[in-house]
Amino acid sequence: MDEVIVTTTAGTLRGLRENDAVVFRGVRYAEPPVGELRFKPPVQVGPWTGVRDATEFAPICPQGISPLGSSEPQGEDCLALNVWTSATAGPSRPVMFWIHGGGFVGGSGSLPLYHGDTFAAKDVVLVSVNYRVHVLGFLDLEGVGDGFENSSNSGLLDVVMALEWVRDNIAAFGGDPDNVTIFGESAGAALVGALLATPRAHGLFHKAIGQSGTGHHTRSREVARRATEMFFDDMGVAHGDVVALQALPIDEILAPLHNYGTGMSERTRAVFGNDDPLDAMPFRMTHGDDVVPVRPADATADGSAANVPYLIGANDDEMRLIYLLGAEIKPADAGLMPLEIHARRLGCTEDELLELYRAIDPDRTEDDVTCALCSDLWFIMPGREAADLHARHQPNTYRYSFSWRSPANDGLMRAAHTFDIPFVFDHLDDPNVGWLLGDAPPAPLATAMQDAWIRFARTGDPGWPAWGKASRQVMRWDTEPAVVDDLDADRASVWRTTFPALS
């Protein structure tokens, strides 16, 4: 492996040429958020002298349980990014900036599944980023001391600072700072949606892709305040004593994380009250501050990112991921919203919902319908509304549906949450996903999806008709990809009480 030297605005880095890609790992874009910087918005990395090594991944944000396939150490000095490029010289290449998921409680930009070698092989510069999650990234401490303004969005501001690093430095890595596409999955896609409504991020990216997530997943300032009070209680620290919080060992900070997952509980219901239909994830982005001034859906409706082509979609069976543990698990065990709650909120009877969702698949059990309803609530219908709102201002708005059903685990999970990622990254051979995808996932589908994502990054057009009032077509990704007419129009009719912009 040959060393490759690149000079950034802060100093010089040493990366490695590995096969057909040049890789820079663990590139710090911000100062370590430790000590007095814990919980605060990020501070830009300071300059250094000499050559700094960029051949090892940085620690990932502390989260207790390691994410799938990650062997990287955990530590608060986690604000780093990674770059894969085919060459640091030559014509400028499109940049794709990956934002990992993990429900705002975990995840990593260095997962083997997210390595950018396959993108670099197609002459794209791939950047992946670590950002702070859970309370380290989204604890609202504004008003308790100096420097905590907008702390409820520190994790989002981490991503903004990384994008600023890309703007200032990516040309030295062979990338085009004027052609940056942000893309992410789940929480990463929610961050993409929030970035579309973040004034400070305007001009830092030029296209956006959201996989199974939208800007709908923000919380109000009031919910952020209640979540902070819950955390002070869990820590046994007097409310507002931020100095005591900053002095706590990280293991104590991590101890209550099991209370802050993505499912519902009595504690999260108390935090959210009637302010949020999701009743989950108490630590995530906040609207109503200087970073995200209004709900992203409202900002999108007003054309906040009118100049940004947007590709958005979801998997057909998102919430089937709960069946990872086997056939005996029930929706209630996973904290999913019961059918009767859906019916009450949507103004229907349970029988009407069963009839509607069984019209799509007559063999669906009541549990299957509950999973489908939760898939619609969290992913599919917010994505549809986001596309509708964005298409009012931007003609290059596109929708897709990932429909390939995995045969693994007796086919229980179908086209579940996260199953699209190995296809987009064309890493079907990753040993950590084989048990999810089965022995022979369709390689041509991975090639087709990655090529469409890259075409969109290059041109703003993934290769199928745009979504809008005049065209209601969707790319359906399956063994035989096909453009199909509106897949969810009938279901959308009952979701207008929750997502009023649905057309």
**Which positions are annotated as active-site residues?**
186, 318, 417
Q: CA-CA distance, 321 to 312, in Å (whole number)?
A: 20
Phi, psi of 9 (to 5 degrees): -65, -20
Are 415 and 403 in contact by the 8 Å Cβ rule? The answer is yes
| Three-class DSSP category at 191 | helix
Phi, psi of 469 (to 5 degrees): -60, -40
Q: Is 126 exposed, middle or buried (0-12, 13-18, 19+ CB in 10 A)?
A: buried
Question: 464, 449, 390: which is closest to 419 by C-alpha?
Answer: 449
Q: CA-CA distance, 288 to 279, in Å (whole number)?
A: 19
Provide the 8-state DSSP code for 83. E
Task: Show Cβ contacts of residue 393 under 8 Å, excluding neighbours closer than 6 positions.
Answer: 303, 305, 306
Are 155 and 243 in contact by the 8 Å Cβ rule? The answer is no
Write the CA distances from 502 to 229, 339, 495, 496, integer angstroms.
Answer: 35, 21, 8, 6
Handedness of CA 454, 429, 191, 496 (dihedral sign): positive
Type of residue found at 47: P
Write the CA distances from 273 to 162, 247, 391, 450, integer angstroms.
Answer: 34, 31, 32, 41
Are 346 and 354 in contact by the 8 Å Cβ rule? The answer is no
Phi, psi of 99 (to 5 degrees): -115, 115
